[in-house]
Amino acid sequence: MWAERTSQISLSGIREIFTLTRPDAINLGLGQPDFDTPVHIKEAAKKALDAGYTSYTPNLGFPELIDAIAHYYEQYGVHAGQEQIICTSGGSEALHLAFEALVNPGDEVILPDPGFVAYSPLTRVAGGVPVSARVKAEDGFKLQPNTVAECITEKTKVLIVNSPANPTGAVQRYDEIKGFVELAEDHDFYIVSDEVYDKLLYEGEHVSPASFDSERVIVVNSVSKTYAMTGWRLGYAIAPAALVEEMLKVHQYIQACAPSISQKAAYAALIGPQDSVRSMVKEFKTRRSVVMEHLNEIAECVTPEGAFYVFPRFATSDTSLDLTKKLAQGGVIVVPGSAFGRFGEGHVRISFAASRQDIDRAFLTIKEEVSAR
Ligand SMILES: Cc1ncc(COP(=O)(O)O)c(C=O)c1O
């Protein structure tokens, strides 16, 4: 009865677990910072409201915000003109626009597996075919150029790169990113680089594929994670100008523009003081140590270098979904690795976007559950 486009995809496995949960459960399943939006950003939004910024904005976004985004990306050696940037309703919409403007029916999209839950459904909605490129624990979950090379066919249209990565916290190295860009140039496909965790980095440096001056790279980012602004729904894409034109056509008809007040708030976030980001990252880094200390007692686990997730494998015969359900019944929410692709099976995603106290309490339950088998 419904269109194939939607009937062939399902709701995210993450939500499924949340519905099973006791009200007093400790939530280590969150995909957003457990911090409030910094005060100066909220103030800018209030000011914008009072000044009457309550109507549609230019379709691409306020020019001052576009300039601020271009300036922000200069730090990564990316020199984008105004005509190369489109503001969207979160990074999610930017991903959707990129797929809609790039993927024809039957085109293949290579995606990291395990990887962010939206990549495969968005590929399918655009009529494309998802192709899993396995990321392995022995490589620190970093996607390898030779794994990507093995996935390339005549139909390859897009490669998704996500660094720092959800759900593994892996951070790609310079040489790997360079390798992806070379493959894209040699085999005529595009890289959609999801950089929403660019600032949540504990090791190494953020390398954007767009810094290699290629016409084949689309950057997706947002203020959601860096500035604890997930509910504001403000993201953007940086792409070759001709592709921005194509993305704009879809954006104009489904969204018109990104939310006006959120654009004003995002502008304040990008150009204002960055100490809230630094203190949030410092806190996440401490929690990462706390989580790793607990995990080292009970599991094999790669130390995440970015984002706020760890992706351990426990020695158990349970599927990751069954283990997650048992933990949920015991009062701890984590996300089954299988929600992130078939190669995520056997793992769970634990988010450290929770207080240290909650993390310590949750691990009492996790240790009990895991050592009981
Ligand atoms: C890897 C990744 N990309 C994109 C998003 C979408 O974020 P937003 O739409 O809030 O910018 C998320 C959110 O969890 C994510 O983890």
Predicted local confidence at residue 371, as pLDDT: 77
Residue 224 and residue 96 in one domain: yes
Average confidence (pLDDT) over 59-73: 98
Range of the domain at 193: 40-271
Name the residue among 319, 317, 346, 325 with its Cα closest to residue 114. 346
Closest ligand 1 atom number to CA of residue 194: 3
C-alpha to C-alpha distance for 276 and 160, rounded to whole angstroms: 30
More confident residue, 316 or 241: 241
- My answer on whether 44 and 73 are in the same domain is yes
Give the ligand 1 atom nearest the CA of 307: 16
Residue 222 alpha carbon, nearest atom of ligand 1: 11
From ligand 1's centre to the CA of 83, what distance in Å?
24
Max CA distance (Å), the chain: 61
Question: CATH code at 17?
Answer: 3.90.1150.10
What pLDDT, on a 0 to 100 scale, did the predictor assign at position 373? Answer: 56
pLDDT of residue 240: 98
Helix segments in the chain, DSSP class H = 4-7, 13-19, 39-50, 63-74, 90-102, 119-125, 145-151, 174-187, 241-254, 260-271, 275-298, 320-329, 356-371
State which of 271, 303, 324 marks the end of a domain.
Answer: 271
> Given a cut of 80, is residue 372 above it in pLDDT?
no
CA dihedral 361, 363, 365, 371 (to 10 degrees): -150
Q: Find the 369 Cα to ligand 1 centroid distance in Å.
A: 30
Residues 185 and 317 in one domain: no
Distance CA 110, CA 120 (A): 9
CATH number at residue 184: 3.40.640.10
Task: Kindly report the backbone phi and psi dihedral angles of residue 126, in degrees, each rounded to the nearest multiple of 5, phi listed first.
Answer: -80, 0
* Cα of 42 from ligand 1 centre, angstroms: 21
Instruction: Say whether both 305 and 214 belong to one domain.
Output: no
- Rounded distance between C-alpha atoms, residue 178 and residue 207, angstroms: 9
Same domain, residue pair 150 and 25 = no
Q: Which of 193, 265, 201, 275 is nearest to 233 (CA)?
A: 265
Pocket flag, ligand 1, residue 169 (CB < 6 Å): no
Average pLDDT for 258-272 = 98
* Cβ of 90 less than 6 Å from ligand 1: yes
The amino acid that residue 348 corresponds to is V
- Of ligand 1's atoms, which has the minimum distance to the CA of residue 92? 9
Average pLDDT over residues 243-256: 98
**Within 13 Å, how many C-alpha atoms sit on residue 186's CB side?**
11
pLDDT in tens, 226-240: 999 999 999 999 999
- The predicted structure's pLDDT at residue 108: 98
**Most ligand 1 atoms within 8 A of CB, residue of 34, 86, 89, 92 to mutate:** 92
Residues near 139 by Cβ (< 8 Å), separated by ≥ 6?
A: none
Quick: pLDDT tens for 295-334: 999 988 999 999 999 999 988 889 999 999 999 999 999 9
* DSSP 3-state of 60: coil
Query: Quick one: 208 and 337 in the same domain?
Result: no
pLDDT of residue 1: 87
Identify the pLDDT of residue 218: 98
Range scoring the smallest mean pLDDT among 10-19, 181-190, 211-220, 248-257? 10-19
Q: Are the beta carbons of 177 and 207 closer than 8 angstroms?
A: yes
Query: Is residue 31 lining ligand 1, measured as CB closer than 6 Å?
Result: yes
Ligand 1 test: best mutation among 12, 116, 197, 229, most atoms within 8 Å of CB?
Answer: 116
Binding site membership of 196 for ligand 1 (Cβ less than 6 Å): yes
Q: What is the pLDDT of residue 167?
A: 98
Query: How many domains are there within the chain?
Result: 2
Instruction: For residue 56, count other CB atoms closer than 10 A to its CB.
Output: 8
105, pLDDT greater than 80: yes
Q: Which of 172, 221, 225 to mutate to test the pocket of ligand 1 (most atoms within 8 A of CB)?
A: 225
Q: Does residue 327 share a domain with residue 203?
A: no
Number of neighbouring beta carbons within 10 Å of residue 346: 18
Mean pLDDT along residues 65-71: 98
The ligand 1 atom at the shortest distance from the C-alpha of residue 223 is: 11
Ligand 1 pocket, mutate which of 87, 200, 222 (most atoms under 8 A from CB): 222
pLDDT at 282 over 90: yes
Average pLDDT over residues 233-259: 98
CA–CA dist 62, 179 (Å, integer) = 35
Pair 135, 120 in one domain: yes
CA 120, CA 137: separation in Å to the nearest integer?
21
**Domain end marker among 244, 271, 298:** 271
Residue 335 confidence (pLDDT): 95
Which residue's structure tokens are 């990462």? 288
User: Does one domain contain both 138 and 54?
Assistant: yes
Pairwise CA distance, residues 206 & 199, whole Å = 8
For ligand 1, is residue 262 a contact (CB within 6 Å)?
no
Residue 13 has pLDDT above 70, yes or no: no
The amino acid sitting at 194 is D
Q: Which of residues 210, 243, 271 is at a domain's end?
A: 271
Question: Is 151 found in the same domain as 164?
Answer: yes
Which ligand 1 atom sits nearest the alpha carbon of residue 221? 11
CA distance 68 to 73: 9
Model pLDDT for residues 132-190, shown as the tens digit of each residue: 999 999 999 999 999 999 999 999 999 999 999 999 999 999 999 999 999 999 999 99
Tell me the pLDDT tens digit for each residue of 90-104.
999 999 999 999 999
With a 6 Å cutoff on the Cβ, whether 107 touches ligand 1 is no
Same domain, 213 and 96: yes
In angstroms, how far is CA 41 from the centroid of its own chain? Answer: 22
Q: What is the mean pLDDT of the chain?
A: 95
Q: Say whether pTM exceeds 0.85.
A: yes
Q: Give residue for tokens 């984002």.
A: 307
Q: Please tell me if the CB atom of residue 195 comes closer than 6 angstroms to any atom of ligand 1.
A: no
Cα angle 138, 208, 180 (rounded to 5 degrees) comes to 55
- Check whether residue 135 and residue 11 sit in a common domain: no
